[in-house]
Amino acid sequence: MERDEMINWLSPDRDPADLYARADKARREAVGDAVHLRGLIEFSNFCRRRCYYCGIRAGNAKVRRYRLTEGQVLDCARTAKRLNYGSVVMQSGEDSHWGPAQLAEVVSKVKRETGLAITLSVGEHTREEYKLLRAAGADRFLLRFETSDRRLFGMFKPDSDYDNRFRCLAWLKEAGFQVGSGVMAGLPGQTLESMADDILLFKRLELDMVGIGPFIANPDTPMAGAVSGTLDAALRMVALTRIVTKNAHIPATTAMGSIDPQGRQKALRCGANVLMPNISPTEHRVDYSLYPGKICTNEAPEQCAGCVDAMLDSLGRKRAEGAGHSLKV
Ligand code: 5AD
Ligand code: FES
């Protein structure tokens, strides 16, 4: 699909029904009806960065900081196994106390004990550190570039470097990870053109996974009072991403479910084929509030499992078997 046609589909006043139908068909043909469940472990909310949009940014004194122990992470992974999820996603802020060396150890333990596929989402590191994590048994890595627009990136990520972000994505690929990236839809100042460029970049980077969610203004950040993104914009991006990338794994994200109670269901009907139910200890969930209104903060892992199974039932979809590795060759 050409950039101009994408921009046209991204326009809020154009009826997206045909786009969604086309994306749903593309999803069925490229990845089938089964939905992969990845258990999400939010293992530390310490972060050295100060991204303007993010609730767990360094310096946000309202956040009660926590860090799971190795034993707690292992317990979460056991829970994932028990709930029959095919993989775990270990996510945290950029926490120096849970650095690559410690992480590598827990990764190898999770791997040895559960055999589950392991995805890391722990931010920017060096090439050597990525190699270490891969050698320890991590299979995949998520690192959203957040926006392809260099100017916006600089505005919202004051202590990050645009070029380094993409260097990290290249290192991850070189280290042999299945690589995921993604963006927020509806960042203040983001244009339809830049959203189309995000999608073209997903394609160019040959990503194995692409996560997209609406930007949700967080009152405890410098973006308090900003206008949030819309589910509509995020769904249009999901649909176009499905059409353009064909068989990438695309989650119906928590941010979509948080901005609209039917958000994830809608995403699964216009291109998405993955859900990431939370398996973090309930007591800490509320403290991993990247944005307000985040769903699942009062639930236990079992409740989220029941909820996603009911969701799949209602959509006439089923759980996928196995780890759900990349479908790229
Ligand atoms: N609204 C929506 N998504 C957010 N993220 C961080 N803060 C927000 C927010 N306020 C997303 C970023 C990050 C992912 C873990 O959460 O895209 O990569
Ligand atoms: Fe957690 Fe629905 S997935 S309550």
Ligand number nearest CA of 264 is 2
Ligand 2 site, residue 230, Cβ cutoff 6 A: no
Structure tokens given for 120: 């890391």
Q: Percent of the chain at pLDDT above 70? A: 100
Ligand 2 center–CA 39 separation, angstroms:
12
pLDDT, position 82: 98
Pocket test for ligand 1, best of 143, 184, 218 (most atoms within 8 A of CB): 184
Ligand 2 site, residue 40, Cβ cutoff 6 A: no
With CA atoms as reference, report the closest residue to 164 among 183, 146, 184, 178. 146
Ligand 1 center–CA 183 separation, angstroms:
8
Ligand 2 site, residue 168, Cβ cutoff 6 A: no
Ligand 2 center–CA 255 separation, angstroms:
12
pTM of the complete model: 0.98
**Dihedral pair phi/psi, residue 47, rounded to 5°:** -150, 135
pLDDT above 90 for 65: yes
Domain ranges of the chain: 3-319
Ligand 2 site, residue 300, Cβ cutoff 6 A: no
Sequence-distant (≥ 6) Cβ neighbours of residue 187 within 8 angstroms: 53, 146, 147, 152, 156, 215, 229
Q: Percent of the chain at pLDDT above 90? A: 99
Are the beta carbons of 35 and 312 closer than 8 angstroms? yes
**Ligand 2 atom nearest to CA at 305:** 3
SS3 assignment, position 280 = coil
How big is the chain by its Cα radius of gyration, in Å?
A: 18
Tens digit of each residue's pLDDT (9 = 90 or more) over 106-150: 999 999 999 999 999 999 999 999 999 999 999 999 999 999 999
Ligand 2 site, residue 303, Cβ cutoff 6 A: yes
Sequence-distant (≥ 6) Cβ neighbours of residue 280 within 8 angstroms: 40, 41, 42, 43, 68, 76, 288, 301
Ligand 2 site, residue 299, Cβ cutoff 6 A: yes
- Nearest residue CA, atom 1 of ligand 2? 304
Tens digit of each residue's pLDDT (9 = 90 or more) over 158-184: 999 999 999 999 999 999 999 999 999
Tens digit of each residue's pLDDT (9 = 90 or more) over 241-256: 999 999 999 999 999 9
Tens digit of each residue's pLDDT (9 = 90 or more) over 188-240: 999 999 999 999 999 999 999 999 999 999 999 999 999 999 999 999 999 99
**Ligand 1 atom nearest to CA at 211:** 17
Are the beta carbons of 136 and 105 closer than 8 angstroms? yes
Q: What is the mean pLDDT of residues 35-51?
A: 98
Structure tokens given for 46: 């310490």
Ligand 1 center–CA 321 separation, angstroms:
29
Ligand 2 site, residue 108, Cβ cutoff 6 A: no
- Nearest residue CA, atom 13 of ligand 1? 144
The runs of H, that is alpha helices, within 83-145 are: 100-114, 127-136
Tens digit of each residue's pLDDT (9 = 90 or more) over 281-311: 999 999 999 999 999 999 999 999 999 999 9
Q: Top-level CATH class of 3-319?
A: alpha beta
pLDDT above 80 for 329: no
